[in-house]
A = this chain, B = another copy of it.
Amino acid sequence: MSKIGVHSFVWSAGSSKDELERTLVRSQDLGFNLVEFSYLDPQQVDVNWLSSRLRELGLEVAVSMGLPPEGDITSDDRSINANGEAILDRAVALVRDLGGSKLAGILSSAHGKQERPLTRRAWDTSVGTLSKVAARAKAAGVSLNLEIVNRFESNMLNTAAQGMAYIADTGASNVYLHLDTFHMNIEEADVGLAIRNAADKIGYVHIGESHRGYLGTGNIDFTTIFDALVAIGWNDYVTFESFSTTIVDKDLSLKTAIWRNLWNDNVALAKHARQFIELGLETARLKAELVKDAHLPLV
C-alpha cells in the first residue's frame, strides 16, 4: 500500500538507453513504484522514449539535482544567478516532459562544501530567483522540493525549520520540503518532531541510512521516522537512496564523499530496502491503530 521509490543510482550512474531501460525494469521487478533520476540532459537522453517506458511500466518519476557553483542562485553575480535560474527551468521542463510532478534536491544554493557562512543577502537573492522559477513551475504542474542537506553539502538549508522559513519567504504554494533521513540524522534536533512540525510542507522524502548503506545497519532510528510519517498521514512517496563505491557518479560521489564500498550486490540491497520500508510502514500503521483502540469489553 505504501508508495516506495528508488534512486536510479542504486542501479547505475549511466544514462544510455540500455542503462535506463535496465533501471526501469529492475525497479519495477523489485516492486518499486517510482524511479528518481538525477537530472538527465535531453540532448543526450531520449526523453519521449523514457516517458513512454515509464508509463508502460506503470512507474512514476521524480527528478533531483543540486545546483553547481556556476549556477548558485544565492550569488550576487548576475550571470551566475541567471545560469542557475535557467538550470532550474530546464529541470522543471524535464520533470514535466517525463510525466512527473516533482523536482527535488538542492535547488536554493550550490551543492557542495562551502567556505563561508551564508549571508542574509544571499538568502534573499535565492528566494527572489526561486520564486520566479516556482511560478513557472506551477504553470507546468511541477512542485519544487527543497532538499534539506547536511552542513558539509550546503551552508543554507540544513534543517526543516530553515526550509519552512525559506518557503514562507517565497510565498509560493508549490514549494515544499524534500526531507532525507541521512541528512536529518546529522542536522535535526529530533527527526520525528521535525517531520511532525513540517507536516503540511513536506513534498518528498528520501530514506537513506546514516552511512548511506543498507537500511537498518546504521544509526538511524527508522521506527521513529515511520511512526512520524504515519502520524502526519503521509501517503506520498518515500524513495530509497544508497551510495557505495560500486556505482560512481563522479560529481555526486565526490560531493557526497563516498569513499567506502558498502555493498556490491544492488539487487540484494534494493530487495532488502523495499522489504524494510514496507514492513516498517505497515508496522507503524498497526501500532498507531492499536494505541487508539479502546478495547471495550465485548460481553
Interface on A for B, CB 8 Å cutoff?
113-120, 122-123, 150-152, 155, 158-162, 164-165, 184-191, 193-194, 197, 210-211, 213-221, 223, 227, 231, 245, 254, 257-262, 272, 275-276, 279, 282-283, 286-288, 290-299
- Find out whether the CB atom of B117 lies under 8 angstroms from the CB atom of A259: yes
Report the bound CA distance from A260 to B298 in whole Å. 10
Contact (A161, B291) CB under 8 Å given A151-B257, A155-B259, A185-B210: yes
Shortest Cβ gap from A188 to chain B (Å): 6
Shortest Cβ gap from A4 to chain B (Å): 15
Known: A186-B219, A219-B221. 18 other contacts (CB 8 A): A116-B254, A123-B297, A151-B257, A158-B259, A158-B260, A160-B291, A161-B291, A161-B294, A162-B295, A186-B210, A188-B219, A189-B218, A193-B288, A214-B283, A219-B219, A260-B295, A272-B279, A272-B283
Q: Name the CB-closest residue of B to A226.
A: B216
- Find out whether the CB atom of A257 lies under 8 angstroms from the CB atom of B296: no
- Find out whether the CB atom of A115 lies under 8 angstroms from the CB atom of B294: no
Q: Name the CB-closest residue of B to A223.
A: B216
Residue of A115, A150, A210 most packed against chain B (CB within 10 A): A210
- Find out whether the CB atom of B164 lies under 8 angstroms from the CB atom of A189: no
Q: How many copies does the complex hold?
A: 4
- Find out whether the CB atom of B186 lies under 8 angstroms from the CB atom of A211: yes
**Which 3 pairs, one residue from A and one from B, show the smallest C-beta to C-beta distance?**
A152-B152, A151-B257, A216-B283
Shortest Cβ gap from A227 to chain B (Å): 7
Contact (A113, B257) CB under 8 Å given A119-B299, A272-B282, A297-B119: yes
- Find out whether the CB atom of A290 lies under 8 angstroms from the CB atom of B276: no
- For A186, the chain B residues whose CB sits under 8 A away are 185-186, 210-211, 219
Report the bound CA distance from A291 to B214 in whole Å. 12
Shortest Cβ gap from A236 to chain B (Å): 22
Contact (A217, B279) CB under 8 Å given A113-B152, A123-B296: no
Q: Name the CB-closest residue of B to A114.
A: B257
Report the bound CA distance from A161 to B184 in whole Å. 25
- For A287, the chain B residues whose CB sits under 8 A away are 189-190, 193, 214, 216-218
Task: Tell which of B165, B221, B245, B291 touches A189, judged by Cβ atoms closer than 8 Å.
Answer: B291
- For A275, the chain B residues whose CB sits under 8 A away are 275, 279
Q: Name the CB-closest residue of B to A116.
A: B254
Report the bound CA distance from A197 to B161 in whole Å. 24
- For A155, the chain B residues whose CB sits under 8 A away are 257, 259
Shortest Cβ gap from A101 to chain B (Å): 27
Shortest Cβ gap from A289 to chain B (Å): 8
Contact (A279, B282) CB under 8 Å given A158-B260, A227-B193: no
